Chains A and B, each alone.
Chain A
């Protein structure tokens, strides 16, 4: 936690020599507390004071960054328990578990590495891979993997010799080792230190976890990640909540990102477990199988939970051209809420039908929300048509409005007398059929 001016003053030489440019040490301390000056302006601070000040400035949850040569996945630096208090910052990285000792692992790797889905214009995919290192042969597999994909890695293993071989193959990267436990922590900590890897610390309960992170840290490893020692929904939620609360209160042994990995049956609970981990404070997540029908909703959930509650995701208002529209192609109108825009744009684009799409400035609200808030009415739609000079681009003035706001058609006819106003379907899925059947 940040120190107050008085607390900082106690750490300064208290000689009022003025070399920092301030009349007294206290004045300098006050400026420091307000983060308006740098500590280095005082030539006489002791090493001890420097250490204490640096520590007090550290965030309550350490930022841990896993890196390959070209990619990075970060976790930590979070500041709250509930997203509405501020926002959640670093989306938990999702890593697919791979077992090189199983046949077909390379096919899975390639499939998974190439897998992408698009959600409101954002490409989503896996962030990395968690490789089980069981013997020195699997270390050779890490080399093969590196030749195929560039994602950051987690190395899962118990045998320090095998892990060392794998780490050798990843020189210059920051992988995450999984995991240091009571039985092997010294060897694991030494490996992490030698190869500058991050290290997961795992213990059966929170008391032992706090002990162990302190020991590992004292041995010189700073980038730690916590495994809560369970993957059952209830116990995991309890521990994750306690860890986040205590970390935010500056309990340093828990001031690290948490890793979530479902290691218990039944397999149907993997998705709910990961969903809980996304909502309740995980920093890194390992998934067991490559199943797009599960990963897609989970990645969408992660986007949703990590959206800043203060800012709806918006697109730029304007006139969008879809599938190279011609002057006689229909004109559709919608709002600039990202989810709304992409629902409509994707449907029309996917159908191959050419259309003009007018996106009004509805302050980032959905059709009905904006309508209810008075941000999507006949006047605003008419204004958008004029501002974006749609008249000059089309010869056939046909404007399709969302079915949910059919009530606007009368007023729109008055606002835009030379336009034909058509009420479209309620849901975007039905737009292509509507264009084909009703608009020809």
Chain B
């Protein structure tokens, strides 16, 4: 006897957002990336076709990273000293898009140069992060926005204490923004409201609800994301932006990923454990509704790509 499968119908949906612009659209990207568009919970293809699979970004840095795990430095090798080569290597590793993180040591001029280098080396859409200090972020991101007008970059990271300048620069130059709030549904909504009130079109906002690494608070981010997606489907317009998260950054901060010596032998082999830490931080976030995941290790990206393909298989 066939069972009657209960299907949820939702009044709302996640907004569709496109990153990057091709020459025809006023940019120079060879590819664009479109995320969002969901009309049901992640991967429930019996209710609605999967509007867009999650996409995977690789984080590269304008200066060779000083505090990264030796495992990451080893796997990328010399390219960390050559931004163009790093961008190419990340693309070759299968990234859908790139994140370029600028450094506190960057000047406006070097920041613009770095962004241009990456844009020239790879045709993928690009997200650019300031170094994470309000004044410095503004000082670097404004000239970057102006020098890349029309590319539909994502500029970040906007937080409640520092979003106006970045949003204004993105608005004036045809870019998008990443809006980060500390793991709270209402704070996500609030920042979304503040940014749209400035006149930013809603389809140029990505929500970053913040996450903790596996073992270091992932459950908070996971549940906030589930709640954001449910609210979006229920029709709450200010939670309908696609979600970007940074499992690479979070996972590679943990002792389990970062350190190989002086840890319990029961933790197992270091390199494989570190990759698992990144993969298993990212995977639950994918299940909870992440649209863009920023990663650091190419092998994690390869495995997560396989997982996403299988998730999308009917």
What count of chain A residues pass the 8 Å CB interface test?
58
Q: Mark A417-435, 1 if CB is under 8 A from B, else 0.
A: 0000000000111000000
Contact between chains at A298 and B215 (CB < 8 Å): no
Tell me the A residues contacting B by CB distance below 8 Å. Answer: 82-84, 115-119, 206-207, 210-211, 232-235, 237-238, 241-242, 245-246, 249, 251, 253, 266, 268-269, 271-272, 275-276, 279-280, 291-298, 300-301, 303-305, 307, 309, 339, 343, 350, 366, 369, 372, 427-429
Least CB separation from A296: chain B residue: B267
In order of increasing CB-CB distance, the 3 nearest A-B pairs are A293-B268, A292-B268, A293-B273
Contact between chains at A429 and B258 (CB < 8 Å): yes
Contact between chains at A339 and B266 (CB < 8 Å): no
Contact between chains at B313 and A234 (CB < 8 Å): yes
Question: Out of B2, B217, B264, which one reaches A117, CB within 8 Å?
Answer: B264
Task: Give bound CA distance, A307 to B219, whole Å.
Answer: 8
Q: Which residues of B contact A279 (CB under 8 A)?
A: 222, 284, 287-288
Contact between chains at A304 and B214 (CB < 8 Å): yes
Tell me the B residues contacting A by CB distance below 8 Å. Answer: 1-3, 5-6, 41, 43-46, 182, 214-219, 222-223, 226-227, 230, 253, 255-256, 258-259, 262, 264, 266-270, 272-273, 276-277, 279-280, 283-284, 287-288, 303-304, 306-307, 310-314
Q: Shortest CB–CB separation between residue B22 and chain A, in angstroms?
A: 31
Q: Shortest CB–CB separation between residue B307 and chain A, in angstroms?
A: 4
Q: Which residues of A contact B269 (CB under 8 A)?
A: 292-293
Least CB separation from B299: chain A residue: A268
Chain A-chain B contacts (Cβ-Cβ < 8 Å), number: 150
Known contacts A210-B3, A275-B284, A279-B284; A293 and B307 CB within 8 A of each other: no
Least CB separation from A268: chain B residue: B303
Contact between chains at A84 and B215 (CB < 8 Å): no
Task: Give bound CA distance, A246 to B3, whole Å.
Answer: 10
Contact between chains at A116 and B44 (CB < 8 Å): no
Q: Shortest CB–CB separation between residue A95 and chain B, in angstroms?
A: 19
Contact between chains at A238 and B223 (CB < 8 Å): no
Contact between chains at A232 and B1 (CB < 8 Å): no
Question: Out of B223, B230, B310, which one reaches A83, CB within 8 Å?
Answer: B223
Q: Which residues of B contact A234 (CB under 8 A)?
A: 43, 45, 310-314
Contact between chains at A293 and B310 (CB < 8 Å): no
Contact between chains at B255 and A429 (CB < 8 Å): yes
Least CB separation from A211: chain B residue: B1
Contact between chains at A210 and B1 (CB < 8 Å): yes
Task: Give bound CA distance, A253 to B4, whole Å.
Answer: 13
Contact between chains at B3 and A293 (CB < 8 Å): no
Q: Shortest CB–CB separation between residue B54 and chain A, in angstroms?
A: 13
Contact between chains at B284 and A305 (CB < 8 Å): yes
Contact between chains at A235 and B314 (CB < 8 Å): yes
Q: Which residues of A contact B46 (CB under 8 A)?
A: 238, 242
Using A84-B223, A242-B5, A301-B218 as known contacts, list a sample of 18 further A-B pairs with CB atoms less than 8 Å apart, ordered by residue number in A.
A83-B222, A118-B264, A241-B44, A242-B46, A246-B6, A253-B3, A271-B280, A272-B280, A279-B222, A280-B287, A292-B267, A292-B268, A292-B269, A293-B272, A296-B267, A304-B214, A304-B222, A305-B284
Contact between chains at B266 and A296 (CB < 8 Å): yes
Known contacts A82-B226, A84-B227, A272-B279; A305 and B312 CB within 8 A of each other: no
Question: Out of B2, B182, B215, B259, which one reaches A339, CB within 8 Å?
Answer: B215
Least CB separation from A366: chain B residue: B217
Contact between chains at A245 and B6 (CB < 8 Å): yes
Least CB separation from B216: chain A residue: A339
Contact between chains at B255 and A343 (CB < 8 Å): yes
Least CB separation from B312: chain A residue: A234
Q: Which residues of B contact A303 (CB under 8 A)?
A: 215
Task: Give bound CA distance, A275 to B272, whole Å.
Answer: 16
Known contacts A233-B310, A279-B284, A292-B267; A297 and B277 CB within 8 A of each other: yes
Q: Shortest CB–CB separation between residue A263 and chain B, in angstroms?
A: 14
Contact between chains at B303 and A272 (CB < 8 Å): yes
Contact between chains at B222 and A305 (CB < 8 Å): yes
Known contacts A232-B313, A246-B3, A294-B276; A115 and B215 CB within 8 A of each other: no
Known contacts A237-B43, A275-B284, A292-B266; A297 and B256 CB within 8 A of each other: yes
Task: Give bound CA distance, A50 to B182, whole Å.
Answer: 52
Q: Shortest CB–CB separation between residue A276 and chain B, in angstroms?
A: 6
Least CB separation from A295: chain B residue: B268
Q: Which residues of B contact A307 (CB under 8 A)?
A: 219
Contact between chains at B223 and A82 (CB < 8 Å): yes
Question: Out of A118, A232, A427, A429, which one reaches B310, CB within 8 Å?
Answer: A232
